[in-house]
Amino acid sequence: MKDKIIIFDDPLSSLDYNRRRRTVREIIKLVSKAKQVIVLSHNDALVHELYCAREVKKSRISYYIGQIEQSSVLLPFDIEDHVKGKDHLNKSYKSLKNFLASPNLSNKNDCLENIRIALESSIKKKNFTLIENHNKTFTDLIKTLEENTAILFRGQNDKSKVIDTLRDLDSVSWPVHHGQACDIDMNWSNSPENITLEELKGYVEDTINLIDHVL
């Protein structure tokens, strides 16, 4: 088997939990036996588990199929950073839901920060293969959403209205995130320190709606 290249294409598809665990263990065992093991998968958890396994750390390489100028290409994939992004999304999203359950202004800055983190993480996650640079800021991601015609929103949402909503959320969360007023053209009709509880609730509701139904 030392001269064999083994390819798995979505190996966990349609398997129950026990078979999934056994399959993962068998794939890891093959790494030391075969010349090369290639795993193709849409399953983030599988890719992360294989990537972090002690047996494969010395020889691991990960790629994803991305898009550059309308062409599909293989690009380096930082699975650990990707998983961290999902964790950030989950934590921020949960915090925003908790705020709506018991709204108050005492944690306003945390709320605004979570709005930004949740939206940025959601955009990167849901448009992973269409965004060339995953280190883009929230502001730059909004520009990418606006300019990239391959990126579509769910439902019958008007793209320009979605972009306007994102820009409003960008402007109101910018000072808290960066610790200073922004130096780009933004709508400052609602300065963060002057936000009322009802306005903050509206921003959070807009964020949840974007994540759940639009982006």
- Cross-strand partners of 64: 75
- Whether the pLDDT of residue 152 is over 60: the answer is yes
Q: What confidence score (pLDDT) does residue 80 get?
A: 75
Q: What confidence score (pLDDT) does residue 181 get?
A: 52
Beta strands in the chain (DSSP E): 5-9, 36-40, 63-68, 71-76
- Whether the pLDDT of residue 45 is over 80: the answer is no
Q: Residue type for 99, please?
A: F
- Whether the pLDDT of residue 182 is over 60: the answer is no
Question: Between 3.40.50.1000, 2.60.40.10, 3.40.50.300, 2.60.40.2700, what CATH number should domain 5-61 receive?
Answer: 3.40.50.300
3-state class (DSSP) for residue 70: coil
Mean pLDDT over residues 121-138, rounded? 83
Mean pLDDT, the chain, as a whole number? 86
Cα separation, 16 vs 18, whole angstroms? 6
Residue-by-residue DSSP string for 1-56: -TT-EEEEESTTTT--HHHHHHHHHHHHHHHTTSSEEEEE-S-HHHHHHHHH-GGG
Q: Report the candidate in 117, 115, 100, 127 with the shortest Cα–Cα distance to residue 198.
A: 100
Check residue 105 and report its DSSP letter: S
Residue carrying the six token digits 């439902």: 155
| pLDDT tens string 85-123 | 678 889 999 999 999 999 999 989 999 999 999 999 999
